[in-house]
Amino acid sequence: MHLLQFLEICIGEFTLWPTYILELLFLKDRAPENMVKVAAFFFEHGVPLGIASRVYNICNSKDNHLVPYVMGAFYSTWVANTDALHLAQYYNVRVGKILWINGRIHFQFKIVQPSIFGYNIDCRTINQS
């Protein structure tokens, strides 16, 4: 199975992914604030850490051995904080909205209100661009 096919099984059709994720994947700036957005998107769509970090490295056309550890820190934080609220924001492809990552004992489909966006998120898809 090809990597893109696997990602489409986990997330949904590639053309429905938000533009901001595609822009962040191909940025050369590996700033933690950019990586957390990509990690949140992959984490909540059930993409395994190994695959998520590999995709990030492939898209940046440079293999950085620290990416799995940085993404892993985000993944483990989200898994370990079962009682926390509003850990990160991500675009849910199936719902078509920006949702919060919450601890597992809380409701998982809590929509982020537009006034709370901590950054400008372009949620248009490839089809809409």
What integer pLDDT is reported at residue 124 of this predicted model? Answer: 72
Question: Where are the chain's structural domains?
Answer: 3-116
What integer pLDDT is reported at residue 118 of this predicted model? Answer: 53
Asked if 45 contacts 63 with a C-beta cutoff of 8 angstroms, the reply is no
Q: How is residue 125 annotated by DSSP?
A: B
What integer pLDDT is reported at residue 1 of this predicted model? Answer: 64
Per-block average pLDDT, block size 10, for the chain (129 residues)? 90 91 80 88 96 90 84 94 90 91 79 63 66
Tell me the helix, strand and coil percentages in the chain, rounded to 5.
45, 10, 45
Based on the number of CB atoms within 10 Å of its own CB, is 20 exposed (0-12), middle (13-18) or buried (19 or more)? buried
Asked if 126 contacts 22 with a C-beta cutoff of 8 angstroms, the reply is yes
What integer pLDDT is reported at residue 116 of this predicted model? Answer: 52
What integer pLDDT is reported at residue 122 of this predicted model? Answer: 66
